[in-house]
Structure formats: structure tokens, C-alpha cells
Amino acid sequence: MPDLKKAAGEEADDRSAGTAGKRQRGVRVVMLALMITMLLAMLDNLIVGTAMPTIVGDLGGLEHLSWVVTAYTLATAASTPVWGKLGDLYGRKGIFLTSIVLFLVGSVLSGMAQDMGQLIGFRAVQGLGAGGLIVGVMAIIGDLVPPRERGKYQGMMAGVMAVAMIGGPLVGGTLTDHLGWRWNFYINLPLGAVALAMVTAVLHLPERKGTRTRVDYPGAALLTLGITAIVLVTTWGGSEYDWNSAVIMELVAIGAASLVGFLFVETKAVEPIIPLHLFRNRNFTLISLVGFMTGFVLFGAVLFLPLYQQSVQGASATNSGLLLLPMLLSMMVVSVVAGRVTTSTGKYKIFPVTGSVLMVAGLFLLSRMDTGTTRFTSGLNMAVLGAGMGFLMQITMLVAQNSVEMKDMGVASSTTTLFRTLGSSFGVAIMGTLFTGRVRDEMAARGGGEVTARSAQLDAGSLAKLPEAVREAYRFAVSSGTHIAFAVAASAGLIAVLASLFVKEVPLRGAGPGSASSDAAAGAGQPEAV
């Protein structure tokens, strides 16, 4: 009899191991689909950026050029919280598939645009879908994988983001030169079709049970209006309009009034778009602030480093993109390693602290670059910044998700993504204003009558046509502008260091899909994997 019991136990263990193995394989297949989807969302703006001169040459409408990017960014930022809440209320899979379809429809329409107005409108459709792609990926990972395992997969997602930043401009230039600018949009179709088919076939999440609740439409409208006003202020301020102009002041007033109204509405709503109780959790609030500063720094660096490399170090446009490799590769490697260490140890506080410190150190080193800095030195400086970003990029999402209940997974993911997006808007605006102002001041002091109102925006071709003295003045001016932009970013980064120090190490739930602790987590609200 004991032998029979032992045999039965061993057979049960074998079945359990087989089920766990199957579940793990299913998760890996889903992760591949999610990585393809994340690649779609990240590649789009980076690919399209290189095609913009060709698009303007074909469609005209140079005065509306910035709106091709702004419409996409606005729609993405404004829709992100709504997608997250809809996934929480009505089921993650269906909402995610809807966002993929919407993104692909926007891609097709953008590729078929016949004038700049159509392109701007269709880019907004694309942006609406992109908001759902990003938050959907993060929330589904949160649904499928316990936090203890989650760092490994989110590290892979950070790697995908780095690959997109490296490959986007190269792919965009190649497609534009050989197939035409419209293929920068059509290229999304085969990738999107694969992701759509894989998600439909292999993603299985628990059905959402319970009564359907009315969506918080007033809150969504007020939040959308507030975000739109904020993004427009940061986009237009100091470039399209002076910071003290009537348009900017009106947008500031609209944004402030909308967000105050939003906070009031959220206290009354049955199912608020962003439940304010999330911010009662210290870790969630602190890590949202860290995410804001991460966005502030990363997108500012990606914008101004190529400009420094082209104007000061003499790199071509293509080479300046490749010269970002030290930062992006460092970010990718560190993110993957940090994710795996988090999975194996269950510890994570050291990563936001270390990442914030390295981020500030990297920014400080970049702020010290001048006209004599070699590419090797600037590459090392960028690698330090990239390592800091690698520690921060996905750990912020992991801590945010670990700080909330399963029912709020989508809205926690979308709120964290929103803070990072808003941080990037503020970072580009503030660093851009400081950079442009310093370049113009230095050119006015050194360039004499050669200075134009557009001297802070000279491309490599225009720079080569300038007299030697003016060209050297411009190199010095850009170097000085880079110094002030990164010095201020380093100072702002200290906020992330302080916030990280106060993050509390809360044990990560679960130890992996199919394990005993994972099953316990599933019983407490953690859904079973595929």
C-alpha cells in the first residue's frame, strides 16, 4: 500500500510538473507576441522621424510638420489611462486586441494620406491605439506573471525598447530611400498581424466577473483635457509661442482647472479612471515620481546627444544615431540583468537607488563635455547614463504593480506609463528651452552679424556652409547649450535619488508560474498563467 501511495504521489508530481512546464511555454509564447507589440509602439515615432523631410516634400504643409508628432503623442498620453481602466473593467484581452486593431487601422490610413491634414488626423488614430498597446503589454505581464518572476520579463521589454531606439532611425531611413515614406506606416501591418494572431490564439486570461460598472466619462474627459493642455504647453512653450504669451497662459489655466476638476470628480466616481487611493500607497507615489524623472531624462538625452555629436563632434546624421549605442546597449544589458537578479532574489530596492545615482552621475559627466571631448569619452559618459536608465526603466513598473491589488493592475500600469510620458514632455521642453536660449546667447556674443533667429536649429549641411569663425562659434554655443541642459537634468535627477531612498522593500508576490507560491498567489487573486 505505501508503494502504491508513493507511486500515485510521483504520478501527481509528474502531472504537476508537466502542467507547470506547459504553462511556462505558454507564457513564453505570449511574451513573444507582447514584445512584437511593444516593438510596434516604440518603433513608430522613431521610424517616422527620419522620413519627415521626404513626407513634407511630397505632401507639403511644412508649417504643420510638428503636428505629425504632436498629434500622435497627445493621443497616446491622453488615452493611456482610459485603456488601463477599460482593461480592468471589461477584460484585458479584448481591450488589448482592440488597441492593436486601432493602431493598424491608423497605420494604413496614415500610409494612404494625401495631404498633411489627413496625415495628422490619422496619426492621432494611431496614437490612440498606441496608448492601449503600451499599457496593455505591461498589464498583461502583471496578470500572467507573479511579481517575483516579472522583473525578468520586464527586463526583456526594456531590451526591446533599446532595440527600437537603435534600429528605428536606420529602418526608417532605409524604407524611405528604397520603398518610399508610406512604407514607414505599412511596415506595421505584418508585425501587427503576427502579434494579433498570436495574442488571439495563445493568450488566455480569467474572465472578469461581476456587474458592469459605468465608465467614468466625466473624469476621462477632464483628464484628457488637462493632459492635452499640459503637453501643448511643453510642446509650444519657448518655440511656437513665448512662455509668457496669452496662448501659453490660457493653456496653463485650462490645464490647471481641468486637473482640479478631475480630482474632484474622481472622489465621487464609482469606478474612477485613476483611483486616488493608489497614491495612499507610499511606494506607488514614490515610484511614480521616479518614473516621471526617468522620462524627463531619457527623452531629453536622446534628443540632444545626437545634436551635440553632429554639431560639435562632426558626426553625420546616421552616425550620430549609431553613436548612441553605448547608452542604449548599456541600458539593455543592465535592464535584463536587473530583471533576472530581481527574479532570483526577490529584492529590488537597490535597483532604483543605484539607477538614480548612476543617472545623475551620467548626466553630470555629459554636462562636462565641451568642444574637445572625444567620441570615446562621450561614449563612456553615455554608458553610465544608460546603466542608470537600465536599472530604472522596468523596475519602476514592477514596484508600481506590486503596490496595488490585482483589480487595479491595468490602471496602475497606465498611471505609471502616463507619469513617464508627461516626464518626457517636460524634459524635452525644459531642456530644449535652456539649450536654445544658451545657444542664441553665445552666438549673439560670438557670431556677430552672422547670427539668425534659427541658429539653434542649424543642420549639418547649413553648418558646413558657414564661415570658419562662425562655425567654431556655433560649435562652442552648442557645447555650452548641452552643458546647461544636462546640468539642470542632473539637478532634477536628484529628486529621483531622494524618492528611491524612501521606497520600502515589500516582498514580491509569488515565485513563478506553476510553482507552489504562484499557485497560492493565484488563489489570493493572482490569475493563472496561460
Q: What is the pLDDT of residues 315-345, one digit of tens each?
A: 765 566 677 788 878 888 888 888 778 877 8
Task: Tell me what pLDDT residue 252 has.
Answer: 92
Averaged pLDDT for residues 506-518: 51
Name the most confidently modeled range: 39-48, 229-238, 491-500. Answer: 491-500
Task: Tell me what pLDDT residue 50 has.
Answer: 63
Query: What are 278-296's pLDDT values in tens digits?
Result: 888 999 999 999 989 988 8
pTM score of the predicted model: 0.74
C-alpha cell at 97: 486586441
Query: What are 46-75's pLDDT values in tens digits?
Result: 777 667 667 767 777 656 666 777 788 788
Comparing 526 with 96, the larger pLDDT belongs to: 96
| pLDDT beyond 70 at 114 | yes
Task: Please report, to the nearest 10 degrees, the dihedral formed by the alpha carbons of residues 188, 194, 200, 205 taken in order.
Answer: -80
Q: Three-class SS of residue 138?
A: helix
Task: Tell me what pLDDT residue 25 has.
Answer: 61
d(CA 516, CA 475): 61
Percent of the residues in the chain that have a pLDDT greater than 70, as a whole number: 79
| pLDDT beyond 70 at 79 | yes
| pLDDT beyond 50 at 514 | no
Task: Tell me what pLDDT residue 405 has.
Answer: 81
CA nearest 251: which of 242, 356, 117?
242
Task: Tell me what pLDDT residue 86 has.
Answer: 84
d(CA 35, CA 330): 19
CA pseudo-torsion sign 227, 64, 161, 309: negative
Task: Tell me what pLDDT residue 205 has.
Answer: 73
| pLDDT beyond 70 at 210 | no
pLDDT band, residue 464 (cuts 50/70/90): low
Comparing 454 with 506, the larger pLDDT belongs to: 506
CA nearest 45: which of 115, 114, 133, 157?
133
User: Is the CB of residue 122 less than 8 Å from the CB of residue 110?
Assistant: yes
pLDDT band, residue 474 (cuts 50/70/90): confident
Query: What are 132-189's pLDDT values in tens digits?
Result: 888 888 888 877 777 667 666 666 776 677 677 767 767 777 777 778 888 888 888 8
Q: Which amino acid is at 170?
A: L
Task: Tell me what pLDDT residue 17 has.
Answer: 42
Averaged pLDDT for residues 298-323: 72
Task: Tell me what pLDDT residue 374 has.
Answer: 87
Over its C-alpha atoms, the chain yields an Rg (Å, rounded) of: 24
CA angle 117, 118, 123 (to 5 degrees): 100
Task: Tell me what pLDDT residue 354 has.
Answer: 93
Residue found by looking up cell 538614480 in the block:
356
Averaged pLDDT for residues 486-495: 90
Per-position DSSP letters for 94-109, written without gaps between them:
HHHHHHHHHHHHHHHH
Comparing 512 with 428, the larger pLDDT belongs to: 428
Task: Tell me what pLDDT residue 133 has.
Answer: 86
d(CA 493, CA 487): 10
| pLDDT beyond 70 at 103 | yes
Q: What are phi and psi of 64, to 5 degrees?
A: -105, 10
User: Is the CB of residue 36 less than 8 Å from the CB of residue 198?
Assistant: yes
Task: Tell me what pLDDT residue 527 has.
Answer: 35
Task: Tell me what pLDDT residue 499 has.
Answer: 92
Task: Tell me what pLDDT residue 16 has.
Answer: 44
Averaged pLDDT for residues 227-233: 84
d(CA 158, CA 63): 35
User: Is the CB of residue 489 less than 8 Å from the CB of residue 427?
Assistant: yes
DSSP state of 208: P
Query: What are 398-437's pLDDT values in tens digits?
Result: 888 888 887 777 788 888 888 888 888 788 778 877 887 7
Averaged pLDDT for residues 372-386: 89
Task: Tell me what pLDDT residue 452 has.
Answer: 44
Average pLDDT for the chain: 77
Comparing 521 with 328, the larger pLDDT belongs to: 328
Residue 200 CB neighbour total at 10 angstroms:
12
| pLDDT beyond 60 at 89 | yes
| pLDDT beyond 70 at 35 | yes
Per-position DSSP letters for 478-528, written without gaps between them:
HHHHHHHHHHHHHHHHHHHHHHHHT---PPPS-SSTTSHHHHHHHHTTPPP
DSSP state of 280: G
Averaged pLDDT for residues 454-465: 54
Task: Tell me what pLDDT residue 273 has.
Answer: 82
